[in-house]
Structure formats: C-alpha cells, structure tokens
Amino acid sequence: MAPHSFIRAFVCVSPPETELTKLNDFVASVREYPGFKWVKSDQLHITLKFLGDITSPQAMALDTNLSRLGGTRPFVISLRGVGAFPSESRPRTLWLGIGDGAESLVRLASFVDKASVSSGCERGLRKFHPHVTLARARHEGGEIGISGDLAEKLSDIPDISWTCGSFVLMKSELTSSGPVYTPMGKYDL
C-alpha cells in the first residue's frame, strides 16, 4: 500500500476584492516598518482553522462535511482594532481584530472544527480568536513593540466591512518566496 501524500491546508474567510483593496492600502502604509514580515495582499484572510498536513482522503471527507453546513446565514464582518500575539510590547504576530461578526465567526469556526474532526483531522486545541494577520516578527526574541509612529499609523484603520456569504478550504504550498494559497473548495452560507 502506497503512503498518502499530504496537503497543507486551512479553512478561512476572505474579504471581497473591494475590501481587500482597502485592507491592502492600509497595510501598505505600514510596510516600511522594520522587524516585521508583512502579509501579502492576496493572503489576507481570517483563518477559521489551520489543519496542517492532511491526507487526500481527509481532504475529500472534509470537503463533504464542510458542504453540509446548515442553519448559518450570511453575516456582516467589520475589522476593528489592532493587537498582537503574545502582547503589544513583544509582538510576534500583528493582527486586525473583528468588530461586527465576531460571534458568528466563532460559531462558524466551531462548525469547521467539528467537520474537520469528523473527517479524521485533529481537534483545535487553542481558543479561537478571530483576526486578520497583518505581519509576523522577523526574528524570534528580537521583536520590537508597537509604539510611537507605528502605533499611530496602526490606529488609523479604515472602515472595512463586508457580508460574509462563504468560506474556503485552502491549500498552502510553502515556497522559497513564501506560501502560495490555492482554493480547494468554497462553501456558501
């Protein structure tokens, strides 16, 4: 029996093109700050669940299970507030938080987690915190805090909101120039 090939995957919600343009313009205004690797505009999204390496049979089962979502209707998502993991004084990850739609995203992430477990994937161990990752610190232990001019620019978030009507199962291929994302399935609410 041949071993299974693995697919690195995650499930996410992506902003529509109009809001992605606003989000990209916002990120472009802070890209000059050193110490961070800024997320490319075509990779800005809200991760509902990172699956890691899954097998092709798991991906097929997950596709079936994700398509069975019931009782969830489209909802409005708005981006609000900047934060950092683990803290703003020693950020490893900079993110934009969610205003409207946070509770709906938590419910959707719970559904995705149950569907992934039913598909043979591991249950999520961390509490889900809906956000859009903006940047990651370039060096472990060498992070700079969010202060001064950077804090001021990050506080000037444009009005970004949209109606979320779907979510996506995404393949992530790691390359020397960064990850490449390819949709594997789209699921309407």
Q: Does any domain span residue 64?
A: yes
pLDDT of residue 139: 66
Q: Is the pLDDT assigned to residue 128 strictly greater than 80? A: yes
Per-residue tokens: 186? 């789209």
- 139: annotated active-site residue: no
Q: How many domains does the chain have?
A: 1
Strand partners of residue 83: 95
Per-residue pLDDT band for 170 (boundaries 50, 70, 90) equals very high
Q: Does any domain span residue 173?
A: yes
Per-residue tokens: 41? 């505009």
**Nearest CA to 12 among 161, 119, 131, 170?**
170
Which conformational region is residue 114 in: left (phi greater than 0), alpha (psi within -120 to 50 degrees), or beta? alpha
Higher-scoring residue by pLDDT: 172, 177: 172
What are the backbone dihedrals phi and psi of residue 90, each rounded to the nearest 5 degrees, phi first? -140, 65
Q: What is the mean pLDDT of the chain?
A: 88
Per-residue pLDDT band for 17 (boundaries 50, 70, 90) equals very high
Q: Average pLDDT, stretch 102-119?
A: 94
- In this structure, what DSSP letter does residue 60 have? H
- 131: annotated active-site residue: yes
Q: Is the pLDDT assigned to residue 2 strictly greater than 80? A: no
pLDDT of residue 61: 95
At 149-168, the pLDDT tens digits run 777 778 888 899 999 999 99
Q: Does any domain span residue 1?
A: no
pLDDT of residue 151: 76
Per-residue tokens: 3? 């071993």
pLDDT of residue 1: 41
Point out the catalytic residue in the list 4, 45, 129, 139: 45
Q: Average pLDDT, stretch 125-142?
A: 81
Q: Is the pLDDT assigned to residue 122 strictly greater than 70? A: yes
- The type of residue at 73 is R
Q: Is the pLDDT assigned to residue 142 strictly greater than 50? A: no
pLDDT of residue 15: 94
Q: What is the pTM of this model?
A: 0.89
Q: Does any domain span residue 184?
A: yes
Rounded to an integer, what distance in angstroms lies between the CA atom of residue 155 and that of residue 183?
32
Q: Rg of the chain's alpha carbons, rounded to an integer?
A: 17
Q: Does any domain span residue 70?
A: yes
Residue 87 structural domain: 6-188
**Nearest CA to 187 among 65, 54, 41?**
65
CATH number assigned to the domain comprising residue 137: 3.90.1140.10
- Collapsed DSSP state (helix, strand, coil) of residue 117: helix
pLDDT of residue 109: 95
Per-residue tokens: 94? 């900079």
Higher-scoring residue by pLDDT: 36, 108: 108
